Structure formats: C-alpha cells, structure tokens
Amino acid sequence: MANPPRKAFPLRLDPALYAAVERAAAADLRSVNAEFECLLREALTRRGVKLDAPTPAKRGRPPKSEDDDA
C-alpha cells in the first residue's frame, strides 16, 4: 500500500529557533523535517489532540519483479 502524499508548505521561522531545532534533530539523528513532525506530534498529544500513528516510510529495495530476471 502506498503512503499518502505529504503536505508541503512554506514556514517562516526565527533563525535562532530553526538553529535550536536543527541541533535537536542532530542529537536525535533525525532530519530537521522529521524533528518538526515529532515536536508537533508531542505538543498536540500534550494538548489532548488524538492523532493516528505515523505511517512509516518503506525502506530498502523494492521487491524484485519478474521482468528483472533477464
């Protein structure tokens, strides 16, 4: 099953805030985008907003198709 498309949008941030998130992302071995998602999910959960669990991205090679045998 394919993952639903992600919503992209511009976000203006104070440079110091972005730098802090960038440091937190590096400490957690995440991308800045993944760190923002994690922080937003945590904040919404603390406010009592129920969210579905994130759909994990497929990793690794795609399955070999029958055409690839040649």
pLDDT tens-place string over residues 35-67: 999 999 999 999 999 888 777 777 788 788 776
pLDDT value of residue 16: 98
Q: Is 41 exposed, middle or buried, given 0-12, 13-18 or 19+ CB atoms closer than 10 A?
A: middle
Find out whether 58 and 3 touch, Cβ atoms under 8 Å.
yes
CA–CA separation, 50 vs 45, rounded Å?
6
Q: Label residue 23 by pLDDT band (50, 70, 90).
A: very high
